[in-house]
Amino acid sequence: MTKQSHAFQAEVAQLLHLVTHSLYSNKEIFLRELISNASDACDKLRFEALADASLYGDQPELRVRIAFDKAARTLTVTDTGIGMSQDEAVAHLGTIAKSGTREFMARLSGDQKADAQLIGQFGVGFYSGFIVADRIAVESRRAGLPPEQGVRWTSDGSGAFEVEAITRAERGTSVTLHLREDALEYADGWRIKELINKYSDHIALPIQMEGEKWEEGKEEGQPGQMVKTGEWETVNQATALWTRPKKDISDEQYTQFYEQIAHDWQPPLAWTHNRVEGATEYTQLLYLPSHAPFDLWDREKKAGIKLYVRRVFIMDEAEQLLPRYLRFVKGVIDSADLPLNVSRELLQESRDVRAIREGNTRRVLGLLEDLAKAPAAAAPEPAPAADDAAVTDVQDKNEAQAGDKYATFWHEFGAVLKEGLGEDAGNRERIARLLRYASTTSDSANVTLDDYKGRMKEGQKAIYYITADSLAAAKGSPQLELFKKKGIEVLLMTDRVDEWSLSFLREFDGTPLQSVAKGAVDLGDLQDEAEKKAAEEAAEAVKPLIEHLKEALKDSVEDVRVTTRLVDSPACLVVKDAGMSLQLERLMRQAGQAVPAAKPVLEINPEHPLVKKLEGNPHFDDLAHILFDQALLAEGGLPQDPAAYVRRVNALLV
């Protein structure tokens, strides 16, 4: 029989180095990862066997066994799952198939703790064995292949691995770790049991260990010792957590289960666990993570929902079970109604899936509302839908420090939730009540639209907002001057999705939303008659100036007009009411999108000394361009010809 040597894919070698070095202080996770792989392998067999029962062969049992040998310093995890062929062993244990590896590598900071977190999210799985082992031997046979087509894979984790064909009587895989000197504690029954208890209690398969008993020394004076009994005992709960009554599940168990399914070592913010009985029957266990994953903005990222049908694992990342704007939610759905052979394509058309998706959406929004503790009067529950009414056995984990938790949630995932305004018209009202923004009265994003409405001035007819790149740019924008003077609150929006998402929220609770950078300013009843009259007179007086400016800037602006919105600045740029804001235009250009070239409107403040000096000035043309370029700068843009701008300013300075 020939042994073949293969080099690890470069990424694997890099990852191995990283895993062994940065996870050093968190050694014990290797066992969780190996058991999780073993359990996945059993799930895969169960799933493939739905179509071909002969894959079970003469071994109907699916289980994981853990053996150790103190003298030989080994620990072995054996499963009766799907197994691997020789080609699969080379491919799966020598390369990283998952996309995003490079991004993951790029995000590593060198800070052990932070990197360990990232690795957890990424799921290093099998390779974590090398944290505790200086050599790993894997023996495997794929279900359905004859015993002679087994494979042995060995490596010391340094750069290469070897594979050879073996004869293996049993289907499935065994992974043997040759423990390092400093990891001998894992060749111990108590220690292993402790770890199973901690990490793998809810694996829905029996995890077995050989029983041990104490044997006294045979002769006087000889010490006693633990000896194996030869009987395999199941050491975990071996039931799927979500099927147990919630009163029997502790917070700690919920948290551990989350860590296991989400590969996240930080406890979740909150969860909701319900059995829904109605037109379609299912159990939902949904978690809100406490921090965003590194690939939250990956457009391809799928929802973190595992789908089971009557406890049989069907698929990971069942994206049909949640709308995209809730893609940060992790959890498990176990359906009683879907067929076991359901495919992703079938999921798309299934009415049951649609009902589950709507149920999940309602439940997550409800959980968020609880966390946000929206005042009851301001957030009337929509009439419960049919299957909501039949929910039994509800547990929402959210009592403690709900407010803080919502702030954390919003900081991590608020920008994603905002996508829901566009994506989910049916729940737009509920989502709108969950929104939080900074404003001219609050630097932190904690102002709700209800708060804002409650503080509106008498006679104020709109909710005003401004979009900008940063809080500083928003706060300093000339467009806000009149609002500040009048003491009118303006919401400050700095997320990229803000403007797009608000295009779907024209009004909130009967009050229109109005960008302060769009259209002519009309504060209606907030301006008194004297002010209006003064403005009209000023406009009349500068009519010739306006015409001159229009002429000088005709290539850059759509129009020039007098405004009352400015107090301290000479000019600002606005777009027409229906137009795209300059901010959105910039974002779209950055994203490589073609944007129709709409020119902005230049508004001038006739009271400003600079404006007063314009008419008849020998430098009129330069000043006009500077006025325009500065208005662009003030709202976060750049002059079209920065060098020309600098030249003009310098000429005047000299």
At 255, list the tokens. Answer: 């948290």
In whole angstroms, give the CA distance from residue 481 to residue 620: 26
Q: Using the rule CB under 6 A, which residue among 127, 199, 406, 409 binds ligand ADP?
A: 127
Applying CB under 6 A, does 79 fall inside the site for ligand ADP? yes
The C-alpha angle with vertex 312 and arms to 306 and 315, in degrees rounded to 5, equals 35
Q: Which is nearer to ligand ADP, 90 or 567 (CB)?
A: 90
The verdict on 86 binding ligand ADP (CB under 6 A) reads no
User: Shortest gap between Cβ of 429 and ligand ADP (angstroms)?
Assistant: 40
- Least separation in angstroms between residue 124's CB and ligand ADP is 6
- Nearest distance from residue 88's CB to ligand ADP, in Å? 7
Integer Cα distance of 45 and 141 in angstroms: 12
Residue 195 in the binding site for ligand ADP (CB under 6 A): no
CA distance 129 to 291: 27
To which residue do tokens 């996870």 refer? 23
| Residue choice 13, 90, 112, 123 for contact with ligand ADP (CB under 6 A) | 123
Instruction: Tell me how far, at minimum, the Cβ of 12 lies from ligand ADP, in Å.
Output: 9
Among 120-128, 357-365, 389-397, 524-532, the segment contacting ligand ADP (CB under 6 A) = 120-128
Under DSSP, the state recorded for 80 is -
Q: Whose Cβ is closer to ligand ADP: residue 93's or residue 523's?
A: 93
Instruction: Assess contact for 440 and 479: CB atoms under 8 A.
Output: no
Q: How far is the CB of 95 from ligand ADP (least distance, A)?
A: 9
125 binds ligand ADP (CB under 6 A): yes
Nearer to ligand ADP, 52 or 540 (CB): 52
Among residues 19, 23, 30, 37, the one that binds ligand ADP under rule CB under 6 A: 37
In angstroms, give the least distance from the CB of 157 to ligand ADP.
Answer: 13
Residue 41 within binding range of ligand ADP, rule CB under 6 A: yes
The correct pick among 16, 38, 364, 367 for binding ligand ADP (CB under 6 A) is: 38
Q: What are phi and psi of 9, to 5 degrees?
A: -55, 145
Q: How long a stretch of residues is the chain?
A: 654
Contact call for residues 130 and 13 (beta carbons, < 8 A): no
Q: How far is the CB of 195 from ligand ADP (least distance, A)?
A: 17
Ramachandran sector of residue 602 (left: φ over 0; alpha: ψ -120 to 50; beta: rest)? beta
Q: Which is nearer to ligand ADP, 38 or 116 (CB)?
A: 38
Strands across the sheet containing 330-335: 312-315, 304-309, 330-335, 282-288, 270-276, 392-396
- Kindly state whether residue 155 participates in binding ligand ADP, applying the rule CB under 6 A: no
Question: Which residue in the set 82, 132, 466, 627 belongs to the binding site for ligand ADP (CB under 6 A)?
Answer: 82
Structure tokens given for 176: 């043997």
Identify the burial level of 61 via C-beta atoms within 10 angstroms of its C-beta, where 0-12 means exposed, 13-18 middle and 19 or more buried: exposed
Beta carbon nearer to ligand ADP, 330 or 397? 330
For strands 392-396 and 270-276, give the pairing: antiparallel
Q: Segment near ligand ADP (CB under 6 A), from 79-87, 240-248, 488-496, 628-636?
A: 79-87
Residue closer to ligand ADP by CB (options 35, 276) is 35
Nearer to ligand ADP, 9 or 446 (CB): 9
Q: Is 269 left (phi over 0), alpha (psi -120 to 50) or beta?
A: alpha
Residue type, 404: D
Pairing of strands 207-215, 571-574: unpaired
Q: What is the DSSP string of 261-286?
A: HHT--SPPSEEEEEEE-SSS-EEEEE
Q: How far is the CB of 82 from ligand ADP (least distance, A)?
A: 6
- Counting residues that bind ligand ADP (by CB under 6 A) gives 15
Q: What is the maximal distance between C-alpha atoms in the chain? A: 118
Nearer to ligand ADP by Cβ, of 48 and 277: the residue is 48
Nearer to ligand ADP, 304 or 478 (CB): 304
Q: State the nearest-atom distance from the C-beta of 57 to ligand ADP, in Å.
A: 16
Separation between Cα atoms, residue 633 and residue 478, nearest integer Å = 11
CB of 141 to ligand ADP, least distance (A): 10
Taking CB under 6 A as the binding criterion, the range among 36-44, 213-221, 330-338, 575-583 that sits at the site for ligand ADP is 36-44
Q: Identify which of residues 301 and 608 has a Cβ nearer to ligand ADP in the complex.
A: 301
Q: Which is nearer to ligand ADP, 127 or 254 (CB)?
A: 127
Answer for which of 16, 66, 75, 93 binds ligand ADP (CB under 6 A) is 93
The token pair at 146 is 């004859």
Nearest-approach distance from CB 423 to ligand ADP, in angstroms? 29
Closest by CA position to 414, among listed 444, 439, 445, 441: 445
Q: Does the protein bind ligand ADP through residue 259 (CB under 6 A)?
A: no
Q: Which is nearer to ligand ADP, 76 or 441 (CB)?
A: 76
Does the footprint of ligand ADP cover residue 92 (CB under 6 A)?
Answer: yes
Question: 34 vs 326, which CB is nearer to ligand ADP?
Answer: 34
Residue, CB closest to ligand ADP: 125
Residue range at the interface with ligand ADP (CB under 6 A); choices 123-131, 325-333, 633-641, 642-650:
123-131
The two structure tokens encoding residue 403: 């407010």
Provide the minimum distance between the beta carbon of 261 and ligand ADP in the complex, in angstroms, as a whole number: 13
Give CA–CA dist 148/145, Å, rounded.
8
Q: Does 121 bind ligand ADP (CB under 6 A)?
A: no
* Least distance to ligand ADP, CB of residue 267, Å: 22
Q: What is d(CA 581, CA 502) in angstroms, rounded to the nearest whole number?
A: 12
Q: Which of 62, 81, 196, 605 binds ligand ADP (CB under 6 A)?
A: 81
Question: Shortest distance, CB of residue 116 to ligand ADP, whole angstroms?
Answer: 16
Q: Is 173 in the site for ligand ADP (CB under 6 A)?
A: yes
Q: How far from 587 is each of 257, 437, 472, 579, 601, CA to CA, in Å?
A: 40, 20, 18, 15, 19
Q: Is 592 exposed, middle or buried (0-12, 13-18, 19+ CB in 10 A)?
A: exposed
DSSP per residue, 216-233: --SSTTPPPEEEEEEEEE
Q: 120 or 359: whose CB is closer to ligand ADP? A: 120
262 is a contact residue toward ligand ADP (CB under 6 A): no
Q: Which residues of 89-123 are buried (b: 16+ CB within 10 A; e: fewer)?
A: bbebbbebeeeebeebeeeeeeeeeebbbbbbbbe
Q: Using CB under 6 A as the criterion, which residues of the chain lie in contact with ligand ADP when the complex forms?
A: 37-38, 41, 79, 81-84, 92-93, 123, 125-127, 173
